[in-house]
Amino acid sequence: MGMLQEFKDFAVKGNVMDLAVGVIIGAAFGKIVDSVVGDLIMPVVGRVVGGLDFSSFFIALSAVPPDVAMNLDALKKAGIPVFAYGSFITILINFVILAFIIFMLVKWINKLKAEAPPPPVPADPEEVVLLRQIRDSLQK
């Protein structure tokens, strides 16, 4: 029973629960970033560089039979190895955007958590100041 209680105490600690929530939100946020990159950014980048679709950039690593279309999906379905560097470029852009957004989020949260300056120390009453002066003059 002791080990079960230890596990329960571990599982319900704040850090473990925070981590679980972070993983779930991170997965959902990753899908949002994938959509932003795939549906908004990459089409604009493709348009700027001449209407190119990065996801279609690949190199077939073996001979392609004449009955297979020369697109990435068809080559993968046919079992032909491909070097899909366009997909890598898209995923790399996803990562950079996600890392930047997380950096900005952590920076914002740290700014919210910034400790308030300590309250000013109240000045000593006048009697205490006078008594200290008397004490100091008697010690000389």
Answer whether 20's CB lies under 8 Å from 44's CB. Answer: no
Average pLDDT, the chain: 81
Nearest CA to 38 among 99, 84, 97?
Answer: 97
In a domain, 129, yes or no: no
Q: Which residue has the higher pLDDT, 15 or 111?
A: 111
Residue 73 lies in a domain: yes
- Distance CA(97)–CA(9), nearest Å, equals 37
Q: Say yes or no to pLDDT of 106 above 70.
A: yes
pTM as predicted: 0.53
Gap between the Cα atoms of 118 and 138, Å rounded: 35
Q: Kindly state the average pLDDT of the residues 63-81.
A: 85
The DSSP line for 76-93 is HHTT--EE-HHHHHHHHH
Return the pLDDT at 14: 63
CATH number at residue 75: 1.10.1200.120
Structural domain count, the chain: 1
Residue 136 lies in a domain: no
Look at residue 53 and tell me if it is in a domain. yes
Say if 66 falls within a structural domain: yes
Do the domain assignments include residue 90?
A: yes
Q: Examine residue 86 and state whether it is found in any structural domain, yes or no.
A: yes
Tell me the CB-side half-sphere exposure of residue 22, using CA atoms within 13 A: 9
Lowest-confidence region among 71-80, 92-101, 111-120, 128-137: 111-120
Q: Is the predicted pLDDT of residue 51 greater than 70, yes or no?
A: no
Q: Which domain holds residue 20?
A: 2-117
| Residue 122 maps to a domain | no
Residue 105 pLDDT class (50, 70, 90 cuts)? confident
